[in-house]
Structure 1
Amino acid sequence: MTARVHRSGRARLIEPVCRILLAAAEFATRRRLAVSTIGLALTLVLGLTYMIFGALGVDPTAATTTVRVQLADSGGLLPGQNVALRGVPIGHVAAVDITRDGLVATATFDAGTRIPAGGHVAVKTLSMAGEQYLDFEPDRDGGPYLADGAVIPVANTSTPAPLWKTLTSMEGTLAQIDPARLAGIIGELGVGPEGPRKLGEIIDGGTFLISTLDSVLPQTVSLLRDSRTVLTTVADAGPGLREVATDTDSVMRGAAGMNDGFRTLVGATPAMLTTIDAVIADNSPTMVQLLGNLLTVGQMAYVRIPAFQEFFFPRGRAGSTLGALADEAIHDGGIWGIVSLYPRPTCDFDHPRRQPSRPDLPLPYLYTSCPDNDPSVLIRGARNAPRPPGERDPAVAPPGREQAQASPTPIGPQSFPLTYGGPPPTDPPK
């Protein structure tokens, strides 16, 4: 009895719901067109709502930050395209406006995204088909950050090269390519089965070369500018280079004629070097002392460079001393000398006279300077030679040493002095 009452109570609760569902079904059946229209409208509204607020992320209540970016040109950037922070999308381009100095792109992004001030802003492309976007590339991670209404100057922005500029730049390169030779290269690549692979390697190598040059673009531009200066200088020196080439050709022809001599020299060089090596090895104990002496010689020669220059390249006339000897004394297949019968200034050295009949070798005097102080006589003498500051004239005897003579020649163990056995010497004429 209790179970039957409970079942009848449940039926009374379900019956109204079933009646409503049956009535709704009958209503929908009678008005199928209206119900279908309402269903489609609701589906459209729900889809648009999901697309706008879900997929596109439009939030009318969200706070945004607007930054104005000054550009020299658009670079293909259009309103509605993405705004990225180091390649990550954070907003969109609200507008691209024309100004007196160029363009201004208005970037809008979520106020919760903080972009450090400074750095660089570039218009980039996702592919060759375009798909430009505005990318912020800050040079630090901390503040200060860009505020709402901030302006990025054009000096801190860049845009990709437009297609017309790229084609214009390629025009000069393409003009230097010979179509016939290019067709020949393509034909050769297509002859063998490895042609496609080789062509791919050539393209990969060109891509690597271009990317490497792009990474050192400032240095490459500087190199090209310097090369232009160098090549201009070489072009100006063209006539001289042609003469050098002609002279070099003559020298090489002469060298070709001496080929046998060069071969002999090359063949004798190893033996000569071996001999030099043996000499150095035999004198290795005294080599340090020899180098020390050469150092002294080098120091003395260094302070007397003006004297050497005056001797080899005198300032009184053009050319060098050796050149003058070669030009004036050696010509026309012979050695020529000039004999002048006119009297010349003489110098009487103030030294004692010896008997001319003595058959010995007297010791030479150390100081044999001409006592004549006339500046027009012996202007090329040792007295007028350039010397280091403060150095005494070596040709002038110190006080009390006017008659000083050289040291006697030492007598070795294999020699002995000879006594004079000739006639008595006579005194020189007074």
Structure 2
Amino acid sequence: MTKRRWMTGLAVAFVLILVAGGVLLFRTFERADRTYATAYFANSTGLYPGDDIRILGVRVGGVETIEAQPQQVKITFWVDDQYKVPADAQAVILSPSLVSARAIQLVPAYTEGPQMKNDAVIPQTRTAVPVEWDDLREQLTKLVEALQPVEPGEVSTLGAFVNTAADNLRGEGANIHHTLVKLSQAFSALGDHSGDMFGAIRNISLVVSALQDSTDVMRSLNRNLAATTTLLTDQPNEVRQALADMNAVAREVTGFVAENREPVGITADKLASISGALDESLGDLEQTLHLAPTQLSNFVNIYPPAIGGFAGAFSLNNFANPIQFLCGAIEAASRLGSEQAAKLCVQYLAPIVKNRQYNFPPLGVNPVVGAYARPNEITYSEDWLRPDYIPPGPPPPDTGPVPAGMPSQTPPMPDGGAALPAEAPEVGSTDLHDMMVPAGAGS
């Protein structure tokens, strides 16, 4: 008997385990095909777990749980995976009728873009709830109470407004009709130029944005204008004198132009022709301004001051072979018989210019030829020619013979005097190289 009870209990436990496993397996497979999300609403009146989740009125899921919070309601729902929902979808509680259960509508329907993932959250800013009938009735009651008369038998505020409007509009039907017609025409004109209107509004928006972005610049401009206005206010006499001087100058200029109208006109015409020529030669001017600084710098660099002459020479490439230069130009300019023209050119010009071939100009570019040197490169033949030479003083008076064995107070000086020790010329060799190259010159 005990064994039978034990087998019965074991069988019941096994059945319960199978049922629980089946339920758990069913719930697992059920959740596997669903996308769960959470939405927050201001309230959930009339909404219960199990109510529909719809897209375009078609049921695609259901409400899982509803959890009340201090300032909002948290609703967890699911959507079947076969239906795609936009990631930025909005949720709205619908009330199809006064008595039926409510549902949550997801808008808009998915077309393209990112999809809502599992455990997504829709904040309260993207949800909406319907207006309750009690709230609507309360607002209508307040409106009726505000419009009804204060005392019995008196005219209400709405009635007074209607009476005043009737008194003011009585007999003005034609004017009202004319006004409506003109308004219609004005709106039609605006509609025909809607593109221009929107363009003007966009441009105004750009100007306002630019002014907003330039706040610091505008503030600085206002400060400068204020400082200028203050300066002009503090110095009225100077401003008045400046305006008077400008007026006098304007009168003198007007008189000068009136007296010299014809010369001024001629000058203006010539200036116009010069300006036209400059405009036509704008490319040449740009090329000249581009190359001139470099060429002038090169020209300056060929003049070393130490030698007093130019270290370079002008080369006339086209005159190295003038026959080829001239006859080649004639052949290039000839359209018909160019070869014959070139032969005739060589035949007649060769006897004249065959001995006039120049690689360089026949005249030198150094009109003054001489040796220039720096001060430390000059050797003087006589010491007294040096600019810093100091002549010797007069000889000392004769004091008699000097006793033997005593040195003389003043050493004897050679004839003609001697230079100072710092100025004495260096003694070097007297070969041809040292005589031609100044002492102290660079190697």
Length-normalised TM-score, structure 1: 0.28
TM-score (norm 2): 0.27
Larger radius of gyration, structure 1 or 2? 2
